[in-house]
Amino acid sequence: MTQEYINQNKTNTFQKGNMVVMHSCCESRLEQYKGKLWECLTDSYLDKGGQECVHLKGFSGAFFCEYLHFVNPKI
């Protein structure tokens, strides 16, 4: 997806820079992803199929927002 497409189809679930954790999906059960904090590289948006997704730093491709929880890390 291009940044232009993301901007035109943006949702308010996650914003660039938010920290999230995966849940209730195959990836969340993998040892290397269990409890891992992910940084959102983009704002959340609706893909061409109408599903809400976001790009995560270090993850290839988009990830469905329904399998992510917002995390507010303590600084």
| Predicted confidence pLDDT, tens digits, the chain (75 residues) | 799 999 999 999 999 999 999 999 999 999 999 889 999 999 999 999 999 999 999 999 999 999 999 998 666
Nearest to 44 by CA among 70, 23, 25: 70
b or e along 42-52 (b: 16 or more beta carbons within 10 Å of the residue's beta carbon)? bbbbbeeeeeb
Domain coverage including residue 8: 3-71
- What's this model's pTM, rounded to 2 decimal places? 0.90
Domain total in the chain: 1
The predicted structure's pLDDT at residue 1: 78
Residue-level pLDDT at 31:
92
Please compute Rg for the chain using Cα positions: 12
